[in-house]
A and B are shown apart, each in its own frame.
Chain A
Amino acid sequence: MQIPVQGFMYPNEVELQWSVLIVLYPFITGLVAGAFILASLERVFRVDAVKPTYRLALLTALSFLLVAPLPLQLHLGHPERSFEMYLTPHRSSAMAMFGFVYLWYLMAVLLVEIWLDYRREIVLKSESAKGLARLFYRVLTLGSSNISERSLQIDERVGYFITLIGIPSAFLLHGYVGFIFGSVKANPWWSSPLMPVVFIFSAMVSGIAAVMLLYMLTTRLRKRTIDMRCVDTIAQYLLYTFVIDFSLEMLDLLQRIYEADESFRSLDFMVHTRLWTSQVIIQILLGTVAPIALLGLTQIVTLTETLRKRVYAVAGCLTVLGIFAMRWNVVIGGQLFSKSFLGYTTYKMGFATREGLLPAIVLMILPFAILWVLIKILPPWSNDEPLPAGGTTAR
């Protein structure tokens, strides 16, 4: 397949090395980290208003975290050798720590926190359920069936401690992903000390927006009333985080424009041509400025409940789209220009190929399927929530 090239590329640079699957990886881990941070708002910072989303956020984080290594595995030339990263990690490599950071977050933070939070329900179900379900929940108790008040208090305290560890761990998980890119000195599009910080804030933005959307959607599907105090608070936090994220990105941009180093002319041309739609239109205008304006509007003008819900839904969708575009522009954009700064290549995405669009779509659907199963096993809500007044469906 002939890849269109403009100007001069080093001959080995023409083919892109990291595909759409590597775009998914930071996008997915960002959602994990952001969802967890939202959950910790309730647990650590005692923001009671967001409580209805606490468990949903944890389950969302787990669903996405379980899928996070899959795009990497699919991408590797030798996936069967990936365990070597555990056996003989190369200490100077930023990437070598992936397995450990991932396992730490999965095993030491998310699973423990979810288990502690659900332990009471798991024990009760292991006693009330029948047949295979009973056996299943008994296994989930891990042999710990004591749900005395004292025992639950200990769960609460340990859970608090785990969340406390979880916050820096979430930062570590996604800041680390940013560092993988930010530390590549050969690539001026990536090489920036701000990259890990921008990744952390963009992760929070995408995770908060995703959980807000999921909460609104699941509540609607369950025909329950959306807790407006909850979504108003989440929207507020989303706005604040987004403003910080946008400021950091603009700071990075301004610095690049003002410094105008040897790579600037090449990168500037790329933004004005190949990345114009994905970066300027989708990421900045649609995915950042528009949601910030919409969320800001709800803070200035008093809108009706129905209107606010719609604004949040639109802003949330645009936010997630914008963050995806940001990941795309970082990963794909960083490979479109030559390290000689004299030319540009093109990204040709296949469809039903190993690293094509189809596996990418499947990988993006998979976390939602896992979330659905998790919700069935460990329902994040109780059924005594209020029904909407004067109707059967939430609007």
Chain B
Amino acid sequence: MEITRRHLLLLLPAAAVGWKYVLAGTPEASPNYRLTEHWWAMLIDIPKCIGCGSCVRACAQENDVPEGYYRTWIERYHVADWKVERPDVESPEGGIHGFPANEESGGKNFFVPKLCNHCADSPCTQVCPVGATFVTPDGVVLVDKTYCLGCRYCVQACPYGCRFINPKTNTAEKCTLCYHRITKGLTTACCEVCPTGARQLADLKNPDDPIHSFLKTHSVQVLKPHMATGAKVFYNGMDGSVR
């Protein structure tokens, strides 16, 4: 079929729209990395966390996180005896400087590191009006900041409070599971610096990953399982009081 000028005038805008669609949500490229061979997750071993704040500091430094916002943070829980439904929780500056000595007596105390749960059925991805938030084929939830409108619907939709609007870019931001590192064979900045190994990056598609034997032998839980988000941050030894 001969393409006339009229055809071209119709086809070009359609092709431009189509191309934008293709480009939307294309993850950062990394040579020798096969997206379909991985399915990333994280394991948090709560009894091992000492609340030192190294992970929060490393994350902020690695990812240039603006002050007052957190891609990861630590919460300190104090549960007095049987009051599982009313724990005392604090997270001063996201625990970036660690925690002051606990003045609470009685009951139990523990730390809970938090980050994006990289949900397989993530509500934030569902609600993004332009698809700027997307799940990569290797299971990481990312935001294309060149595409994000800054409507903040995703911040509202996240049940875990993991998202914020970066005041410098005016776009949504969150933990990327250090995608720029893990696609190059490195671990995340937070896992790298954790002195006790309380955080471990896990590849659920890798049969040799120690996560598999850990999951077989431990009782693990995800945050807010009733939200049915397919959260992939697994917590070992998590108390029922954790929100």
Decide whether A and B assemble into one complex. Answer: yes
Output the nearest chain A residue to B126 by Cβ-Cβ distance: A92
Chain A residues with CB under 8 Å of B130's CB are 81, 84-85, 88-90, 93, 96
B141 within 8 A of A: no
Contact, CB under 8 Å: B89 / A342: yes
Contact, CB under 8 Å: B153 / A77: no
> In angstroms, how far is the closest chain A Cβ from the Cβ of B127?
5
Contact, CB under 8 Å: B89 / A95: no
Task: Summarize A's interface: helix, strand, loop or mixed.
Answer: loop
B33 within 8 A of A: no
Chain B residues with CB under 8 Å of A75's CB are 151
Contact, CB under 8 Å: B165 / A88: no
Contact, CB under 8 Å: A76 / B89: no
Chain B residues with CB under 8 Å of A96's CB are 129-130
- With contact pairs A82-B149, A84-B130, A92-B126 given, residues A8 and B90 touching in the complex (Cβ less than 8 Å): yes
B53 within 8 A of A: no
Contact, CB under 8 Å: B17 / A77: no
- Docked Cα-Cα span, A93 to B227, in Å, equals 18
Contact, CB under 8 Å: B149 / A88: no
B171 within 8 A of A: yes
Specify which of A12, A94, A184, A340 is in contact with B89 (CB 8 Å cutoff).
Answer: A340
B70 within 8 A of A: yes
Contact, CB under 8 Å: A12 / B70: yes
B179 within 8 A of A: no
Chain A residues with CB under 8 Å of B243's CB are 339-342
B20 within 8 A of A: yes
B99 within 8 A of A: no
- With contact pairs A12-B70, A18-B156 given, residues A78 and B171 touching in the complex (Cβ less than 8 Å): yes
Output the nearest chain A residue to B152 by Cβ-Cβ distance: A17
Within 8 A of B (CB), among A1-39: 8-13, 15, 17-18
- With contact pairs A77-B148, A85-B149 given, residues A11 and B70 touching in the complex (Cβ less than 8 Å): yes
- With contact pairs A11-B91, A12-B70, A185-B159 given, residues A98 and B123 touching in the complex (Cβ less than 8 Å): no
> In angstroms, how far is the closest chain A Cβ from the Cβ of B145?
9
Chain B residues with CB under 8 Å of A8's CB are 75, 88-91
Looking at chain B, what size class is its interface with the partner chain?
A: 35 or more
Interface size on A, residues (CB 8 A): 40
Specify which of A78, A186, A342 is in contact with B87 (CB 8 Å cutoff).
Answer: A342
Within 8 A of A (CB), among B163-185: 163-165, 169-171
B162 within 8 A of A: yes
Specify which of B87, B90, B129, B161 is in contact with A89 (CB 8 Å cutoff).
Answer: B129
B52 within 8 A of A: no
B114 within 8 A of A: yes
Contact, CB under 8 Å: B147 / A185: no
Of the candidates B17, B87, B94, B127, the one having the most CB atoms from chain A within 10 angstroms of its own CB is B127
Contact, CB under 8 Å: B157 / A186: yes
B69 within 8 A of A: yes
- With contact pairs A11-B73, A11-B91 given, residues A78 and B150 touching in the complex (Cβ less than 8 Å): yes
B21 within 8 A of A: yes
Q: A residues engaging B (CB < 8 A)?
A: 8-13, 15, 17-18, 72, 75-79, 81-82, 84-85, 87-90, 92-96, 98, 180, 184-187, 335, 338-342
4 other contacts beyond A85-B129, A89-B130, A186-B123, with CB at 8 A cut-off?
A8-B89, A78-B148, A98-B129, A339-B159
- Which 7 A-B pairs give the minimum distances between C-beta atoms? A77-B150, A10-B161, A77-B170, A186-B159, A340-B243, A90-B131, A96-B129
